[in-house]
């Protein structure tokens, strides 16, 4: 493994993707970029993914993104550096985390590496933090020597995506070969640094360069791809086990479909629901919607922020980071009154003829199991139920009805269900439930959710009408127990 | 408010639809031709989600009971204000008592009437989009009163919007491979992109295509579908799901339209032909 760090909170808005791959981040604290809001957002992400937090002070120059040297008085420079670090300290304390290190930004980073005068002032500015925060420095630099003399704890930083001159300074950004973007070149660059403590400079020489951490610039155009590929490359085999399920399939340009084994079983359902819960809990801004079904989740994402491959990589990473099983939301068992009277059970006769079952046996077999809601679809509030007794597996009607009444309870092949509204349908109708399965006046229009259970309870015609009246008046509460 | 004097063929109120309730089986609904509906809102300075009136093939006749600004975008159904022809894509101020009607269909299928600040029909499950079973009605009918905010300001001069004729005439429908595209054999896949398909039955739920593809694919366990998903049915016919489609389905999802092609298809009708062009995602 390698130690990766990234400059963040600089307005690229890709931290949500980068953070799960980083060991450390350097957070812009108002000098060259960043404000209280971005600091909060990035610190929260760093906390979530246990990423070391660094303060990333700069010359106070939003306009030039801190990439131009500034001539400030000693007093001015000290004041701005301390203010910037204080900004971040205030934010991290609210999140109950700590700053790990300080890393100067841009022109300031380059200046303190070369100029003794600037380095002395900078170290003076941060001397109050000496015992608490580490300092990122480039190897063989002016600041490195001074910092060590003054007993700062230094961390050697090398740049994963930058070329080096023979004197181990960075190739100026004004030159075309300053930044490395080819993944292979970056991997080879890092491998040399890691294995030999040397860097191959632009003249082809190998020069000693110590590195404890590698920086990838979050504003390099393929920063996400670089970080993901580095993670894949430098993660050892044993850490890198991709489970067989779910599989990842592209669905249009903004859909990613996760699919599990092609079976409607509780094992698969719970995997699906667990992944759904994890995705929802992650609260990723780039995920716009998650649509759950029996053995799949369709993730609708913001294709302007992330591509399919990066999203797959990210999700695999997140699922491996958060591989512990999590608690599913509370599951309820709902008691659904059904009247199986011949008035509603218009196909009961047909079923008694097709099978050897009596009406009483059909009702008994239908009310005996506790069914599980696998998903909701087809119509608003239509529950896909698992658990129908094999003896009640009856083919759909050869000609569908143009109108099946709201509340109709039917059997179609291996499934049973309730029509939440009057609609055309081909299922064998055995009864009717007086409940509303989709009520637009409720904040939660459908009381049940995937994972919940359903128990059908036979009621008489008289009871049916009583319940229907109570439902109509808004005075009926569906009976439920927590499972 | 305005009054529906004549309902037209299939006239409904639509906004961007319901995106967050698919997990309880609620269809997205919303503008069929999002491009022209959003354009109409843009021309009036409305929010892009403001509710507009979507008319299909034959326009409705409406009488305005309050002053507002209106604009019509989409299919050219020969709009007339107080019997005077008015232009598409050009906002006009209307006064109390003005009557908007439509005549001959010149091109396109769906046209959008937008009013300043949008129609104020009831928001149900976070949207004003009509959908049977969610909203009380699926279409407007004669005598219905549709609310909007009075606005007597003159129309702001705006740059002319060039008609995007290609959105109506272009027969290319761009598609990505769907999740079950690989269920198809090479020759089935090739056929999809070599033949022209003609449109059969169509409505806000789906467009059925007439030509058949030999189908020996297994069905799948019911899974999510989207507007723009092309399902291959057991008969070999293709169904292109549109905005009012169900949230789940069990037929193989072989292709997926890109957004713009959904808008283009919404302006096509029975017997129009289309040809699929494959897109790949970088």
Residue B7 has a pLDDT of 96
pLDDT at B222 over 80: yes
Per the CB < 8 Å rule, is A438 touching B25?
yes
Residues of A in contact with B177 (CB under 8 A): 250
Q: Give tens-digit pLDDT for B231-258.
A: 999 889 999 999 999 999 989 999 999 9
Residue B189 reports pLDDT greater than 90: yes
The tokens 């841009």 sit on which residue? A106
Predicted pLDDT of residue A228: 95
**Which residue of B24, B124, B224 is in closest CB contact with A293?**
B224
Say what the pLDDT of residue B84 is. 97
Closest chain B residue by Cα to residue A260: B221
Distance CA A89, CA A385 (A): 53
pLDDT at B190: 94
pLDDT value of residue A239: 61
- Dump the DSSP string for chain B: -EEEEE--SS-EEE-S---TTGGGT------SSHHHHHHHHHHTT--TT--EEEEESB--EEEESS-EEEEEEEEE--EEETTEE--TT--EEE-TT-EEEE----EEEEEEEEETT---PPPBTTB----BTTBS-SS--TT-EE------PPPPP-PPPPP-THHHH--EEEEEEPTTGGGS-HHHHHHHHHS-EEEEEE-SSEEEEEEE----PPP-S-EE--TTEEEE-TTSEEEEE-TT--SEE-S-EEEEE-HHHHHHHHT--TT-EEEEEE----
Q: What pLDDT tens digit does each residue of chain A (483 aa) get?
A: 899 999 999 998 899 999 999 999 999 999 999 999 999 999 999 999 999 999 999 999 999 999 999 999 999 999 999 999 999 999 999 999 999 999 999 999 999 999 999 999 999 999 999 999 999 999 999 999 999 999 999 999 999 999 999 988 889 888 999 999 899 999 999 999 999 999 999 999 999 999 999 999 888 888 999 999 999 999 875 566 678 899 999 999 999 999 999 998 999 999 999 999 999 999 999 999 999 999 999 999 999 999 999 999 999 999 989 888 888 999 999 999 999 999 999 999 999 998 999 999 999 999 999 999 999 998 999 999 999 999 999 988 888 898 999 999 999 888 899 999 998 888 999 999 999 999 988 888 999 999 999 999 999 999 999 999 999 998 999 999 988
Measured between beta carbons, the chain B residues lying within 8 angstroms of A381 are 24-25
Any residues with CB less than 8 A from the CB of B34 and at least 6 apart, and which?
A: B16, B259, B262, B263
Distance CA A49, CA A221 (A): 23
pLDDT classification of B159: cutoffs 50, 70, 90: low
Closest-CA residue of chain A to B260: A253
Start-to-end CA span in chain A (Å): 44
pLDDT attached to residue A400 = 83
The dihedral built from the CA positions of residue A338, A341, A347 and A348, taken in this order, carries a sign that is: positive
pLDDT at position B18 over 90: yes
Interchain CB distance below 8 Å, A253 and B253: no
- Which of A56, A54, A48, A44 is CA-nearest to residue A20? A48
| E strand segments, A286-406 | 287-293, 296-301, 332-338, 371-376, 383-386, 401-404
Interface test with A, best of B18, B135, B181, B223 (most A CBs within 10 A): B223
Strand partners, B238: B232
Task: Measure the CA angle with vertex A86, ends A85 and A91; round to 5°.
Answer: 100
Q: How many CB atoms lie within 10 A of CB A330?
A: 10
pLDDT in tens, B107-128: 999 999 999 999 999 999 999 9
Mutating which of A380, A404, A412 best tests the B interface, going by the most B Cβ atoms within 10 A? Answer: A380
Which residues, 6+ apart, have CB-to-CB distance to A108 below 8 Å? A57, A58, A59, A66, A118, A122
Closest partner residue to A295 (CB to CB) among B25, B134, B221 is B221
> Which of B19, B24, B224 faces A445 most closely, judged by CB atoms?
B24
- Mean pLDDT along residues B91-100: 96
B93 falls in which pLDDT band (50, 70, 90)? very high
Residues of chain B contacting residue A288, judged by C-beta atoms under 8 Å apart: 19
Structure confidence at residue B178 (pLDDT): 95
Interface touch B224/A379, C-beta < 8 Å: no
Candidate from B25, B226, B282 with C-beta closest to A377: B25
Task: Decide: A467 and A476 in contact? Cβ < 8 Å.
Answer: yes
Residues 307-336 of A with CB under 8 A from B: 307-308
Determine whether the interchain pair B256/A252 forms a contact, defined as Cβ–Cβ distance below 8 Å.
yes
Predicted pLDDT of residue A22 = 97
Would you call B179 and A382 a contact, using CB atoms and an 8 Å cutoff?
Answer: no
From chain B, pick out residues whose CB is under 8 angstroms from the CB of A407: none
Nearest residue to A6 (alpha-carbon basis) of A49, A63, A52, A60: A52
Q: For chain B, what are the domain ranges? A: 2-146, 171-278
- Largest Cα–Cα separation, chain B: 62
Once rounded to an integer, what is the mean pLDDT over residues B38-43?
Answer: 96
**A438 inside 8 A of chain B by CB:** yes
ipTM of the complex: 0.92
Domains of chain A: 4-239 (3.20.20.370), 247-321 (3.30.1360.40), 332-482 (2.40.100.10)
Mutation target for B interface from A224, A247, A252, A426: give the one with most B CBs within 10 A.
A252
* Second-level CATH architecture of B171-278: Beta Barrel (2.40)
* Beta carbons of B221 and A307 less than 8 Å apart: no
Compare CB distances from A291 to B134, B179, B247 and report the shortest one's residue: B247
Q: Which residues of A touch B226 (CB under 8 A)?
A: 251-252, 255, 298
Half-sphere exposure of A148 (CA within 13 A, CB side): 10
What pLDDT does A483 receive?
A: 80
A74 touching chain B per CB within 8 A: no
Q: What is the pLDDT of residue A378?
A: 87
User: For residue A237, what pLDDT is reported?
Assistant: 54
With contacts defined as CB-CB under 8 Å, which chain B residues touch A253?
A: 176, 258, 279, 281
- 10 Å Cβ neighbour count for A177? 10
Do A379 and B176 make contact, defined as CB atoms within 8 angstroms? no
Give the Cα separation of B108 and A132 in Å (integer). 69
Give me the pLDDT at residue A442, please: 87
The residues in A 135-194 lying below 8 A from B, measured between CB atoms, are none
Q: Determine the Cα–Cα distance for residues A257 and A259; give it in Å rounded to an integer.
A: 6
- A259, B25: Cβ pair inside 8 Å? no
Which residue does chain A place closest to B124, by CA atoms? A440
Closest CA–CA distance from residue A459 to any residue of chain B (Å): 26
């Amino acid at each position: 493994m390698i130690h990766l760090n990234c400059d963040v909170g600089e307005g690229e808005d890709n931290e949500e993707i980068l953070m799960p791959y980083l060991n450390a981040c350097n957070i812009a604290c108002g000098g060259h970029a960043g404000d209280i809001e971005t600091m909060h957002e990035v610190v929260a992400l760093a906390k979530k993914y246990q990423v070391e937090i660094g303060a990333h002070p700069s010359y106070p120059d939003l306009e030039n993104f801190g990439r131009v040297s500034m001539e400030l008085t000693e007093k001015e420079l000290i004041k701005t550096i301390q203010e910037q670090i204080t900004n971040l300290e205030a934010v991290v304390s609210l999140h109950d985390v700590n700053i790990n290190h300080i890393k100067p930004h841009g022109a300031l980073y380059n200046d303190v590496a070369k100029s003794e005068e600037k380095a002395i002032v900078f170290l003076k500015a941060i001397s109050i933090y000496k015992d608490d925060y580490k300092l990122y420095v480039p190897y063989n630099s002016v600041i490195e020597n001074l910092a060590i003399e003054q007993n700062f704890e230094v961390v050697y930083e090398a740049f994963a995506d930058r070329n080096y001159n023979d004197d181990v300074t960075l190739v100026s950004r004004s030159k075309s070969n300053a930044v490395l973007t080819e993944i292979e070149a970056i991997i080879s660059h890092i491998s040399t640094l890691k294995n030999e403590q040397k860097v191959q400079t632009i003249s082809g020489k190998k020069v000693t360069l110590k590195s404890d951490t590698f920086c990838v610039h979050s504003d390099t155009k393929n920063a996400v791809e670089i970080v993901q590929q580095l993670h894949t490359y430098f993660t050892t085999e044993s850490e890198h086990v991709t489970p067989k399920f779910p599989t990842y399939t592209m669905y249009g340009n903004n859909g990613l479909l996760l699919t599990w084994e092609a079976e409607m079983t509780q094992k698969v359902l719970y995997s699906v629901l667990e992944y759904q819960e994890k995705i929802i809990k992650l609260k990723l801004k780039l995920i716009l919607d998650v649509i759950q079904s029996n053995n799949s989740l369709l993730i609708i994402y913001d294709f302007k922020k992330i591509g399919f491959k990066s999203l797959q990589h990210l999700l695999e990473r997140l699922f491996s980071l958060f591989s512990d099983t999590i608690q599913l939301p509370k599951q309820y068992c709902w008691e659904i009154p059904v009247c199986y009277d011949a008035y509603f059970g218009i196909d009961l006769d047909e079923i008694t003829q097709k099978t050897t079952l009596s009406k009483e046996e059909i009702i008994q077999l239908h009310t005996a199991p506790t069914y599980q809601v696998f998903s909701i679809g087809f119509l608003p509030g239509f529950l896909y139920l698992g658990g129908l007794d094999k003896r009640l597996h009856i083919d759909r009607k050869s000609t569908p009805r143009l109108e099946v009444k709201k509340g109709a309870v039917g059997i179609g092949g291996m499934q049973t269900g309730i029509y939440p509204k009057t609609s055309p349908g081909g299922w064998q109708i055995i009864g009717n439930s007086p409940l509303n399965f989709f009520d637009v006046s409720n904040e939660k229009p459908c009381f049940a959710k995937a994972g919940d259970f359903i128990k059908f309870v036979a009621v008489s015609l008289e009871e049916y009408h009583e319940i229907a009246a109570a439902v109509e008046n808004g005075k009926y509460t569906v009976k439920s127990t927590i499972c | 408010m305005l009054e529906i004097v004549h309902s037209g063929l299939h006239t409904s109120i639509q906004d961007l639809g319901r995106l967050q309730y698919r997990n309880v089986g609620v269809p997205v609904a919303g503008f069929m031709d999002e491009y022209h509906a959003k354009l109409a809102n843009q021309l009036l300075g409305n929010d892009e989600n403001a509710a507009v009136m979507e008319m299909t093939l034959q326009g409705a006749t409406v009488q305005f009971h309050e002053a507002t600004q209106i604009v019509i975008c989409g299919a050219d159904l020969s709009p007339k204000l107080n019997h005077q022809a008015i232009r598409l894509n050009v906002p006009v101020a209307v006064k109390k008592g003005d009557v908007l009607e439509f005549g001959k269909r010149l091109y396109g299928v769906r046209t959008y009437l937008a009013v300043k600040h949008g129609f104020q029909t009831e928001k149900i499950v976070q949207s004003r989009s009509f959908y049977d079973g969610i909203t009380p009605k699926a279409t407007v009918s004669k005598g219905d009163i549709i609310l909007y905010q009075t606005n007597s300001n003159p129309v702001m001069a705006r740059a002319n919007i060039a008609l995007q004729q290609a959105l109506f005439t272009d027969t290319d429908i761009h598609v990505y491979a769907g999740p079950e595209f690989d269920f198809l054999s090479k020759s089935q896949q090739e056929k999809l992109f070599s033949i022209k398909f003609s449109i059969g039955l169509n409505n806000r739920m789906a467009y059925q295509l007439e030509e058949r593809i030999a189908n020996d694919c297994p069905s799948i366990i019911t899974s999510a579908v989207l507007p723009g998903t092309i399902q291959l049915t057991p008969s070999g016919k293709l169904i292109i799901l549109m905005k009012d489609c169900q949230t789940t389905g069990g037929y193989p999802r072989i292709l997926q339209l890109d957004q713009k092609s959904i808008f283009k298809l919404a302006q096509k009708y029975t017997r129009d032909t289309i040809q699929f062009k494959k897109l790949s995602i970088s």
